[in-house]
């Protein structure tokens, strides 16, 4: 996934891009993911384009994987604010502790 700030990725992954680049991509590895997954993006994220998250979601769907997706209207890179924090806590309670979601 080279959509997001190519210069930033390449400072860590090097240039020219070799096979290791795709091998480390969540998009390319979506079918291999296991367990429960929550994807969160703000629709106004100027750091990582929400389309990057949607690429992962698309591959998960094509691979028949279940996942949760939270798109926060007006959200930036720290998407969600208090609402996002509550949804994250709910996710962890539901899947990590298998506890009921609190009645907020």
Note whether residue 100 is domain-resident. Answer: no
- Residue 10's CB is within 10 A of a number of other CB atoms, namely 14
User: How many other CB atoms are found less than 10 A from the CB of residue 22?
Assistant: 13
Does residue 103 belong to any structural domain of this protein? no
Q: Quick: pLDDT tens for 3-50.
A: 666 666 677 767 777 787 778 888 999 999 999 999 999 999 888 889
Domain assignment present for 73: yes
Tell me what pLDDT residue 1 has. 52
- Please give the tally of structural domains in the chain: 1
**What is the extent of the structural domain holding 65?**
6-95
> Is 85 part of any domain?
yes
Position 1 in a domain: no
Q: Give dist(CA 9, CA 69) in Å, integer.
A: 24
- Is 56:30 a contact under the CB 8 Å cutoff? yes
Task: Please check whether residue 47 lies inside any domain of the structure.
Answer: yes
Indicate whether 86 belongs to any domain: yes
What pTM value is reported for the model?
0.79
pLDDT band at 99 (very low <50, low <70, confident <90, very high): low
Give me the chain's average pLDDT, please: 85
* 83 in any annotated domain: yes
pLDDT value at residue 20: 77
């Amino acid at each position: 996934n080279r959509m997001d700030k190519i210069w930033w990725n390449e400072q860590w992954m090097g240039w020219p891009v070799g096979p290791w680049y795709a091998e480390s991509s969540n998009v390319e590895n979506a079918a291999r993911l296991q367990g429960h997954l929550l994807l969160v993006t703000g629709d106004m994220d100027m750091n990582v384009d929400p389309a990057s998250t949607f690429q992962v979601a698309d591959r998960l769907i094509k691979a028949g994987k279940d996942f949760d997706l939270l798109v926060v209207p007006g959200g930036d890179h720290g998407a969600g604010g208090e609402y996002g924090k509550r949804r994250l806590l709910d996710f962890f309670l539901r899947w990590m502790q298998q506890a009921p979601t609190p009645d907020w």
